[in-house]
Each structure stands twice: as structure tokens, then as C-alpha cells.
Structure 1
Amino acid sequence: MCEEPSERVCPTCSSEQVIKNGSVHNGKPKYQCKSCGRQFVINPTNSPVSEEIQQLIDRLLLERISLRGIARVTQVSWSWLQDYVNQKLARIPRQVKISGKPLGKLVIECDEMWSFVERKNNQVYIWLAIDRNSRKIVGCYIGDRTRKSAYKLWASLPEIYQQSAFAYTDFWQAYRTVIPPKRHRVVGKEIGLTNHIERLNNTFRQRVSRLVRESLSFSKKLNNHYRAIWYFVHGYNAELDRI
């Protein structure tokens, strides 16, 4: 009978109370520590992903590059990257956070942007509202293109915007039934009063690969679509805070 390797020591707690626990994809034996539960491989082929690489991945997720592309650039395994991104995006809050109290007259621009999940007839609309002065996203809702979604967008605004902001929108009827008439003006694109929100829509499509109309990076699951968009919303506002 072959002797067990002497290196069977848990890398987390240094306990020698470890047992065999199957093998990994390349056939190497896998062990589990009975003290802390850590699973490990002796002399692993792939080293742990550094904090620096993880921070790079966090930034690349805000650019128009697919997960396969990120795996190639950072030279991490595809399976590890999938797990890392899924865990990170699952923690992203689905509510806009505004730092500091907005000053002066509050003016917002609202618009809805078409996208799809899995197939193009499965339409998903991204409803956005931005503060004209700060350019920050102050409201966001992802759903269909109905009055209910327009209401959800308005409800996503911070209370101070709901109470006093003046809103510019396009001619989509749903806005008329949700925004207070005295604080709402419907305008065409040629006037230029919704230029900022139109430019933001373009920014989304330029930097979120799954929103490109002709792309292989489209979302296959609705939940992943939500998470990726909300990740970009928070990242976009954070960039403005650093300016």
C-alpha cells in the first residue's frame, strides 16, 4: 500500500486532519480539512487569483468586453470567472444611491431603452432618469414598456426628486399618466432638451456588450441581465463621483 503524501496539511488552518475528497478535472486528488472544511489540492497547477487581477476584472466588467474576452485578457479559468462574476453581481443592490443632497432646481430627463434576453422577441426595456446638472442616474427600472414600468421608474427616484423635480420626456404615453402634469414637459429629440439621456443610452450600448443590437454577448438569463445593468449603473455613478 502506498503511503499518503506528507504534504497533507490544510493551507488555511495548518491542520493535518484531512481526508481524501475525490479529484479535480485534471485527475489530481482533492482533500478536505476536517477542522475547517477547506478543500484543497497539493501543488495545484493554477495559483489563486490575486487581488490585483480581481480589481482588473471589476473594471473590465464596466467595458464592452465579453466574459470570454475577460478570461483571455486576465488569463483566469472560464469556470473561475463565471463563479466570481455570479457571486459579485448577486450582491449588487437594485436601487440607485445618491451621495450628498442635490442642490438648486432639480431637472431630470427620462427615457426607455430597448434590449432583449435570449432572443430578440423577448424584449426588456431599461427605464432611466438622470439629473441634468450632475449627469448622475437617479432612477432606474428594468421591465416591459407599459405604464406599470413607468410608475416603477418614478417610484425608484429619491423622494426629493419625486416631490420637486421637473421632468423632460419623449412622447411615450406612459409618462403622462405617472409624472405630475405641472412638472412634466413632453419634447421631441430635435429640441435638444433630452440630449443628455439620449447620450447616456448610447454610452450604455457602447460599454455594456449585452446591450449591443448585433452581438453574441447578449444575456441568456433575465436575472443576469438585471445584474449586469445594475452593476454598470452603480459603476457609472461612481465614476462621476471621482470627477
Structure 2
Amino acid sequence: MSQEPDQLEEFEFFPFTNSCQLIWEEHDHLLIGVSPGNSYFSAQRLGALARWAAQRFTQVDFVHADVHLDEIYEAFGYTPEHAQRRAAKEIRTVRRRITEGLASAGLLGRGIRMSALSEFADNPVYTGLRRRLDHLVDEDEELREACEAMVQQFLAPRLQDSGPATAEQLRSCRAYIAAELPFFVDTPSILGVPSSVSAYPVVMPLTEVLYRRGGGLRAMRNQAYAVLRSERTVKDDHRRAA
């Protein structure tokens, strides 16, 4: 019997520092951030990623954004009603892709969790970190610059040739990114796991600040970051660069 395409897909991982590598090797927990509207996260790839991760980690969590999306669409000219409908559609789509991926991998309801960021609104560790980070961004210049770089990275494909971002676009994107920041700093305390690796297909500007600098806000000692990408994507990038 021939294998389905997603069963053939493998992944390469690149822990950000030596300490991140050691935490990866503990295999306690992997957090996979899934961005709505990102075509990289197809149901097929999410299924392959779930199967790959479940074979290597004791616990796996998929967490997707579902807050401030309507504000972003509104900042880009949608009416409030249209922005809400567009955001709701994006959220339904990303949840369906994760669910279909887990089902195709035979892992739906079998230990891999799927959560939306809004589900952590009552988590005292998460909300405490949000307040702390909001305060530190105002006082820590290096942290603030890294967050602004993340905002620009997020906005770049959306702005294209339309000129610089408006104040409202910047504000909504900052809020969107701020909701994700606690998981870069202390996922173990938020989710109650011994150690954790937060994984995404690209390096985030914030990772240099949280994992390499000597002072200021840093990720917790049991928190790691890794770039986790499909081998197909890595090979395609190498071909384009050649």
C-alpha cells in the first residue's frame, strides 16, 4: 500500500542555543505555534508534524492565535463587521486544519492538545506574564526594539507597496504579538510541564534577546526555542539560494 504524502514528510530542527539543545534532548514538551492565514500550516503538514512530534516528546501542544485578529483587519480598512467575520473565518480555518491534521495522524483525542490564546485569559501565570511583559517593553529598550522588529516582520507582507504602517496598524499588531510573548518566556509554568521547547518555522527577532543576552528579561532556564521546519521547505530554500 502506498503511503499518504504527509506520512513521507520529515522535519529538521534547529535549537537556538546550546541550552536549547539540552532542553530539546529532554523531550518533555513541544509547543507548536500555529499562525492563522499562514499557508505553511496546511492540514497535511500539521498531521505530519503531529506524528513526528508525538514520537519524540512526552507532551505536545498546538496553540493558535485567535485574539486581536479583528483589530488588525479593521486597521487595514475593513469595516468592524467585516473584520469580525474575516477574523472568525480565519480562526475556524486554522482550528479545522489542526483537527484534520491530528485526525489524519490518528492522534485526535490521544494526548495532543489544541488551544487558542484566548483560553489562557484565566490562567494566572499567563496573565501575570502578560502584565510583566507589557511593563518591561516600556522600560527595556532592547526588548522593545525586538518586539518592534517582530511587528515589522508581521506587517511586511501585508503592507507590500502601500507605504509605512499607520499608527492603528502598529497598535493592533503589537497587541497581537504581545498575546504570544508569555510562551516565549515561560511555557512550563503556563502549561505545568517540566521543560518546554517553543517551535516555529522561522527565527523570531525576540529570540536573540530572550536566549542570548546576558541581562534583562530572559527566557526561563527550562524554556527553549527551536526552528522546526519540514525538510521539503529547507531543501527548497537551499535550491533558491544556490
Higher strand share: 1
Interval of TM-score (by shorter of Structure 1 and Structure 2): under 0.3
Identify the structure with bigger relative contact order (alpha carbons < 8 Å, sequence gap 6+): 2
TM-score (norm. length: structure 2): 0.28
TM-score (norm. length: structure 1): 0.28
